[in-house]
Amino acid sequence: MSASTETSTQFAIEMRGVSVASMSGLNSVIIEDVNWNVALGDFWVIGGWQGVGKTDFLMMTGGMMAPASGCYYFLGKEMPIFEDDRLADRLRLGFVFENGQLFNHLTVSENVSLPLRYHHNLSKADAAEETQRLLDLTELAPWADSTPGAMARNWQRRAGLARALILRPEVLLLDNPLAGLDLRHRAWWLNLLEQLARGHEWMNGRRLTLVLTTSDLRLWRGGARQFAILKDKRFLVLGDWQKAQASHDELVREFRASAVQED
Amino acid sequence: MLFPLPKIPFDLDVDENYVAGVQKGNASTFDSPRVRFVMRMPVPQFFANYVGRKLFRFLLTVQGLGAFALITLGVMIKKFGAARHVIRPLVYREISRSGVRLLPMFIFLAATLGLLIVGQTVSWGSKFGATHTVTEYLGAIMVIGVVRELGPLIAAVLMLARIGTANVVELGTARALGEVEALEALGIDPVHYLVVPRVIGMAVGMFALTVYLIIAALASGYLWAFLQNVPLRPGDYFGQLAAALNGLDFVLLACKTVAFGFIIAIVTCYHGLAQPLRLEEVSYATVRAVAQSVIACVLIDALFIVIYLAT
């Protein structure tokens, strides 16, 4: 591999002057000039109203499309990674879709085990133990043999998380994980993601680097989280919650105002 | 002008050419906005424009299908044996779906096909006082009608109706619901996981079903001849069949049926998978896939006739 496709830094994600195109129209740039570093073990929350391009930004970060311009390095390697011989690098990144995006022709258990079976060439029996552990962790065991259509969206999203975790990625991207969840599920997600960020047993105690999007920053206040917002094609890094609160940005003021009203 | 017109699809500007986009990973052969532009332009006012549009569409379709077929072949070769615990069961499932499960329907249609050919032939033979000629050449007529032409073509149309349309709907829905992006996010090649098993299953299923259909049609042909009092003994009938068949028939039949299965799988998977779809577009994609599959099969059939006549 040429030297130009790698950096020596230990950032999980490193973007320099990155522009992001829309997945639905690759010629239209929806976010410009992103300069952003995510260190290993960081927990980043990216806020923004619906339609500003959070999902497109996350998909570009997940390597599903290339930046329209600029340089993006994931764990020191240039992204996106499409080559088969660099698949191992790509699998260090997990992605959780907003609606789970489960495979409807497979059962929940088959959905969760698919990446493990495909990449390690395992039979169902060989992957059963690992799959069961994740189903227990995500409380999906009762639905193991159901197809996704038989489950509520709350549970489908958990199955999407389990599928992303089965390969034990080093970085996990989550698209609006709390959107539309009831309070019980919301508390479960906040708790599990915090555990993953601190080093969960499933990850063998290794801290997972988390990047997620949200349309409500207030849900993520507290903890050692970093915040950024997407607005008017710009990516603004705010810093921790105190700095985010002190920000004079109009969008952050809007978030704060709605927080006061709700509190 | 309200909207700026995109450049023509075959523009060689490197920055805009979608080859460059594919190399950068932010475009694909099947999702060029300019391709969509040509596909969705309003109906032209002049006949020459209309013909030109049709020609452009045809070329773009051939280009897309050709690229998709080559990609699929490349993946089949490059990933041969990869993830076999996942892919092999899918291949078996597709062979079952495109083969074994269709057998009863094919046998029924084979019986009908034998009746049609023998019934019409005997009827016309008796009408013109040529019963003796019919008796002498019934085997050869069955070989020409069933083995060389109608058998493979009818099998292809049935396979398209039963499995091809299901392919487009399944893959189109999966595409519209974001399952293809999910596969990519998991590092699973969508062509390897979704297309390769279907292509293998349909090629194998088409060959096997056509063979069964031909055998059943030949057998039913004799049965109908017997019921219509044609003075033909089984031994003579099979002797006529054996005399009419030659080695080239078997080779061309195998090649033709595998080609039919392959092309139906490619066209239906292409329309279901290769283009980004919304749910409401799945039905249109199905219609396009059926029309193009039928045309492709007839063209392949014509090609094999030419090969047969030339050798």
What would the pLDDT profile of B16-40 be if each residue is shown by its tens digit? 454 555 555 544 444 555 555 556 6
- B301 confidence band (pLDDT: 50, 70, 90): very high
Between the two ends of chain B, the Cα-to-Cα distance in Å is 58
Count of CB atoms within 10 A of residue B85's CB?
16
Coil, strand, or helix at residue A173? Answer: strand
In terms of domains, do A70 and A183 share one?
yes
Count of CB atoms within 10 A of residue A222's CB?
10
In terms of domains, do A9 and A86 share one?
yes
Angle at A6 between CA A5 and CA A10, to 5 degrees: 155
Which of the pair, A165 or A100, is modelled with greater confidence?
A165
Both tokens of A92, joined, read 């260090």
- A6 confidence band (pLDDT: 50, 70, 90): low
> Is position A141 within any domain?
yes
Domain boundary (A168, A198, A214) is at A168
Q: Give A-chain residues touching B21 at CB under 8 angstroms.
A: 26
**Statement: residue B12 has pLDDT above 50:** no
**Statement: residue B229 has pLDDT above 90:** no
Residue of B210, B248, B97 lying closest to B163 (CA atoms): B97
Q: Do A26 and B85 touch (CB under 8 A)?
A: no
Q: How far is CA B141 from CA A212, B136, B243, in A?
A: 70, 10, 12
- Tell me how far apart the alpha carbons of residues B25 and B16 are, in angstroms, rounded to a whole number: 14
Entry field: residues in chain A: 263
**Statement: residue A9 has pLDDT above 80:** no
Domain boundary (A168, A193, A216) is at A168
Per the prediction, chain A carries an average pLDDT of 88
Contact indicator for B274, B180 with CB cutoff of 8 Å: no
CA-based Rg of chain B, rounded to a whole angstrom? 23
Pick from A230-234, B266-270, B280-284 the range whose average pLDDT is largest. B266-270
Phi, psi of A92 (to 5 degrees): -80, 0
Count of CB atoms within 10 A of residue A142's CB?
11
Cα of A119 to nearest chain B Cα, Å: 7
> Is position A193 within any domain?
yes
- B292 confidence band (pLDDT: 50, 70, 90): very high
Between the two ends of chain A, the Cα-to-Cα distance in Å is 53
Tens of pLDDT, residue by residue over B187-217, are: 999 999 999 999 999 999 999 999 999 999 9
Question: What is the pLDDT at residue A110?
Answer: 96
CA-based Rg of chain A, rounded to a whole angstrom? 18
Stretch 66-125 of chain A: residues touching chain B, C-beta under 8 Å: 66, 68, 80, 82, 84, 87, 90-91, 95, 97, 99, 101-105, 114-115, 117-119, 121-123
Residue written as token pair 């299901």: B166
Mean pLDDT, residues B231-254: 91
**Statement: residue A222 has pLDDT above 80:** no
Mutate to test the interface with A, among B11, B71, B175, B186 (most CBs of A within 10 A): B186
Q: Give B-chain residues touching A82 at CB under 8 angstroms.
A: 25
**Statement: residue A234 has pLDDT above 70:** yes
Both tokens of A198, joined, read 């601190």
CATH label of the domain that carries residue A36 = 3.40.50.300
- B1 confidence band (pLDDT: 50, 70, 90): very low
In terms of domains, do A195 and A131 share one?
no
Query: A29 and chain B: CB distance < 8 Å anywhere?
Result: no
Burial (Cβ within 10 Å: 0-12, 13-18, ≥19) of residue A87: middle
> Is position A42 within any domain?
yes
Question: What is the pLDDT at residue A8?
Answer: 53
Q: Give A-chain residues touching B179 at CB under 8 angstroms.
A: 101-104
Tens of pLDDT, residue by residue over A105-134, are: 999 999 999 999 999 999 999 999 999 999
Stretch 267-306 of chain B: residues touching chain A, C-beta under 8 Å: 276
Residue of B281, B273, B178 lying closest to A23 (CA atoms): B178
Question: What is the pLDDT at residue A57?
Answer: 94
Mutate to test the interface with B, among A118, A121, A163, A171 (most CBs of B within 10 A): A118
Residue written as token pair 């090969």: B307
Cα of B76 to nearest chain A Cα, Å: 14
Which of the pair, B221 or B11, is modelled with greater confidence?
B221
**Statement: residue B135 has pLDDT above 60:** yes
In terms of domains, do A180 and A82 share one?
yes
Query: B227 and chain A: CB distance < 8 Å anywhere?
Result: no
Q: Give B-chain residues touching A21 at CB under 8 angstroms.
A: 26
Q: Domain of A248?
A: 3-92+173-262
Cβ neighbours for B29, distance < 8 A, ≥ 6 positions apart:
B18, B22, B63, B64, B67, B68, B274
Q: Do B83 and A118 touch (CB under 8 A)?
A: yes
Residue of B60, B64, B12 lying closest to B38 (CA atoms): B60
In terms of domains, do A150 and A112 share one?
yes
- Tell me how far apart the alpha carbons of residues B85 and A119 are, in angstroms, rounded to a whole number: 10
Mean pLDDT, residues A157-173: 95
In terms of domains, do A182 and A240 share one?
yes
Counted domains in chain A: 2
- Tell me how far apart the alpha carbons of residues B73 and B81 are, in angstroms, rounded to a whole number: 14
This complex has an ipTM of 0.88
- Tell me how far apart the alpha carbons of residues A231 and A30 are, in angstroms, rounded to a whole number: 10
**Statement: residue A161 has pLDDT above 90:** yes
> Is position A195 within any domain?
yes
CA of residue A71 relative to chain centroid, distance: 20
Count of CB atoms within 10 A of residue B80's CB?
10
**Statement: residue A199 has pLDDT above 60:** yes
Query: A24 and chain B: CB distance < 8 Å anywhere?
Result: yes
Tens of pLDDT, residue by residue over B93-110, are: 999 998 888 999 999 999
In terms of domains, do A76 and A142 share one?
no
Stretch 102-161 of chain B: residues touching chain A, C-beta under 8 Å: none
Contact indicator for B196, B266 with CB cutoff of 8 Å: no
Tens of pLDDT, residue by residue over A68-94, are: 999 999 998 888 877 777 888 889 999
In terms of domains, do A228 and A177 share one?
yes
Mean pLDDT, residues B297-310: 91
In terms of domains, do A64 and A124 share one?
no
Q: Give B-chain residues touching A126 at CB under 8 angstroms.
A: 85
DSSP state at residue B46: S
Q: Do A121 and B174 touch (CB under 8 A)?
A: no
- A247 confidence band (pLDDT: 50, 70, 90): confident
In terms of domains, do A80 and A190 share one?
yes
